[in-house]
Amino acid sequence: MSINYPGGTNANPFYPSPNHKPQIDNYADRGMTLEADLNQSNRYYLEREIAVIHKKPTPIQIVKVDYHKRSAAVIKEAYFNRASTTDYNGIYKGRYIDFDAKETKSQTAFPLSNFHEHQIEHLRKCVKLGGICFALIKFVRTNEIFLFKATDLFQFWDAQHNGGRKSIPKLTIQELGYNIKYRLQPLIPYLDAVDQIMD
């Protein structure tokens, strides 16, 4: 088993290559670059001292490593040593930011099964303490990204356990969320939507 960073060869897990371009024209590649594009967007924010937001490392326990070359150790066996929370966190305008990035190939709804109970509970605790929390949801087939507030997410999450539907209709996400358009710098300007939440 080996672990590669987004893009396969980057030395820094937080930032992809500066030459990375969002794959928005090739339908076959859509959905494969959300994390890399977010990391590059966060790099843009960091370099300009706009925000400090990083992808959280995946909590793994390494069990076996093959040291056949000193410069090329390969992880042969590893496991998750605890449940991960959300993908990203940091600080923006003096406020704590915490969010998860999710994708769906559905064109009509976002399945709530993309989240886990412990992730929702983590977001609840952060919201309770004043954090700005949300999900970035990408509809892969149409290449649309929405910021969906955690408080709205909680309503649908709780409703599914009381006979409600197990997905959020795309029309609802369009109505309650904030559509984020790709642009050159940053690639995913999601803090523009965060500004609207803060206002």
Could you state, in order of their start, the residue ranges of all structural domains in the chain? 27-56+84-198
170 falls in which pLDDT band (50, 70, 90)?
Answer: very high
Alpha carbon distance 110, 115 (integer Å): 10
Binding-site entries: 85, 87, 100, 119
Binding-site entries for Mg(2+): 85, 87, 100, 119
- Give just the sign of the alpha carbon dihedral 115, 98, 180, 9: negative
pTM over 0.75: no
- 48-101 tens-digit pLDDT: 999 999 997 664 455 566 776 666 766 555 454 445 678 899 999 999 999 999
Give me the torsion for CA of 180, 154, 102, 145, rounded to 10°: -10
Average pLDDT (2-31) is 42
> Interior CA angle at 91 toward 88 and 97, to 5°?
50
pLDDT at position 190: 97
The dotted CATH code for 27-56+84-198 is 3.40.1350.10
Asked if the model's pLDDT at residue 182 lies above 80, the reply is: yes
